């Protein structure tokens, strides 16, 4: 493969990743009204739910990325 094919593959992977992220957050925002109704949450509570989900999602992304880098280099904690 030449350099331009790698760039094209990287662009496709990034585009699909961005699409999955957008779909993931869309699912969360679609489910928020029923979650708020069922649990009796106010709008500020629902904002906390979105913030907690974003932090957990980002944390797991960091952990997964760190493990991939670590496993590629050899030993991992």
Residue 33 DSSP SS3: helix
- pLDDT over threshold 60, residue 73: no
pTM over 0.85: no
Bigger pLDDT: 74 or 43?
43
Per-residue pLDDT tens digits for 10-47: 889 889 988 988 898 898 889 999 999 999 999 999 99
Q: Give the 3-state secondary structure of 5-24.
A: HHHHHHHHHHHHHHHHHHHH
Percent of the chain whose predicted confidence (pLDDT) is above 90: 34
Percent with pLDDT over 70 in the chain: 82
């Amino acid at each position: 493969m030449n350099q331009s094919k790698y760039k094209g593959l990287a662009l496709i992977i990034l585009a699909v990743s961005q699409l999955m992220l957008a779909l993931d957050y869309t699912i969360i925002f679609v489910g928020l009204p029923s979650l708020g109704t069922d649990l009796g949450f106010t709008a500020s509570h629902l904002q906390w739910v979105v913030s907690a989900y974003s932090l957990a999602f980002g944390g797991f992304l960091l952990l997964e990325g760190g493990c991939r880098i670590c496993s590629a280099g050899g030993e991992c904690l």
